[in-house]
């Protein structure tokens, strides 16, 4: 029986999809973003002292279905995130099938750094997808996340051509992807991909305390958070290129 490690279930979330949702945070990620707000999620196995729960699909569904009345009332559902949910594709596919049998909407939030075969299979099984694009430039993407962006761009292009509704998300990170040159670079790449809309996610410090607790080096220690107004120029540049923009998730 398929099993997966989950480091958090966040109930009553109003982000990462419509309505009231439960976010399922899977353990393990194949990117190493310096600004990650969940550094405890990155290793495949939990860090010392960190707690994860190993679920079977029936056990996880039994937990998630407890809040179905709230999903139904608000038009919400379940969002699969992490970490990186797509590193456990067979579990995710089985979970999607089980949740759909219960009439529960399923969204996924992913960095899309997985094989095109896995990406295509899972995308077809969910109802909505948020796909992160950290940087338009391959070298800069590699410097900031540990991996290049060529595979991610192919998967984004595939998603935007597909039947599952999908939206690109850009985490706006000070000094990494928020210059005027970056605005132009993102606009060109997004237009080439066929993206009609995008979400800009302002940099925050919600994970700062975790680095201290885990005794991990944090490249953005003390960096000022961005407010919506701080990225209005970025938003305007994308909109002038014909791309609709939503600030925040």
Q: What is the CA radius of gyration of the chain?
A: 18
Q: What is the pLDDT of residues 87-120, one digit of tens each?
A: 999 999 999 999 999 999 999 999 999 999 999 9
Instruction: Name the pLDDT band for 1 (thresholds 50, 70, 90).
Output: low
Helix or strand holding residue 184 (H, E): helix 180-193
Q: What is the pLDDT of residue 15?
A: 83
Q: What is the pLDDT of residue 238?
A: 97
CA distance to 39, 77, 218, per residue, from 47 (Å): 10, 29, 16
Q: Enter the tokens of residue 61.
A: 């569904």
Each domain of the chain, given as residue ranges in start order, spans 3-247
Q: What is the pLDDT of residue 168?
A: 98
Q: What is the pLDDT of residues 160-217, one digit of tens each?
A: 999 999 999 999 999 999 999 999 999 999 999 999 999 999 999 988 999 999 999 9
Q: What is the pLDDT of residues 12-61, one digit of tens each?
A: 998 888 999 999 999 999 999 999 999 999 999 898 889 999 999 999 99
> Considering all CA atoms of the chain, what is the largest pairwise distance in Å, rounded to the nearest integer?
50
Distance (Å, whole) CA 216 – CA 239: 38
Q: What is the pLDDT of residue 2?
A: 85
Q: Enter the tokens of residue 102.
A: 């219960």
Q: What is the pLDDT of residue 47?
A: 87
| Model confidence at 150: pLDDT above 90 | yes
If one counts every other C-beta atom within 10 angstroms of the C-beta of residue 49, the result is 8
Burial of 163 (0-12, 13-18, 19+ CB in 10 A): exposed
**CATH number belonging to domain 3-247:** 3.20.20.70
Instruction: Name the pLDDT band for 249 (thresholds 50, 70, 90).
Output: confident
Q: Enter the tokens of residue 244.
A: 């609709």
Q: Which residues pair with 103 in a beta bridge?
A: none
Q: What is the pLDDT of residue 206?
A: 87
């Amino acid at each position: 029986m398929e099993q997966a490690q989950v480091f958090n279930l966040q109930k009553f979330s109003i982000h990462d999809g419509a309505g009231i949702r439960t976010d399922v945070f899977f353990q393990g990620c194949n990117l190493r973003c310096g600004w990650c707000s969940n550094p405890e999620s990155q290793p495949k196995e939990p860090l010392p002292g960190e707690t994860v729960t190993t679920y079977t699909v029936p056990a996880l569904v039994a937990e998630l279905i407890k809040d179905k009345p709230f999903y139904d009332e608000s038009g919400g559902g379940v969002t699969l995130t992490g970490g990186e949910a797509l590193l456990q594709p067979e579990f995710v596919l089985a979970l999607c099938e089980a949740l759909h049998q219960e009439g529960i909407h399923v969204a996924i939030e992913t960095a899309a750094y997985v094989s095109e075969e896995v990406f295509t299979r899972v995308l077809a099984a969910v109802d909505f997808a948020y796909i992160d694009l950290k940087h338009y430039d391959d070298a800069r993407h590699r410097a900031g996340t540990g991996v290049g962006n060529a595979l991610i761009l192919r998967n984004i292009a595939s998603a935007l051509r597909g039947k599952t509704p999908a939206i690109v998300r850009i985490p706006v990170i000070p000094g990494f992807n928020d210059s005027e040159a970056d605005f132009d670079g993102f606009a060109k790449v997004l237009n080439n991909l066929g993206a009609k809309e995008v979400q800009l996610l302002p940099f925050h410090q919600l994970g700062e305390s975790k680095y201290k607790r885990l005794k991990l080096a944090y490249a953005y220690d003390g960096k000022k958070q961005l407010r919506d107004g701080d990225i209005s120029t970025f938003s305007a540049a994308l909109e002038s290129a014909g791309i609709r923009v939503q600030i925040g998730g």
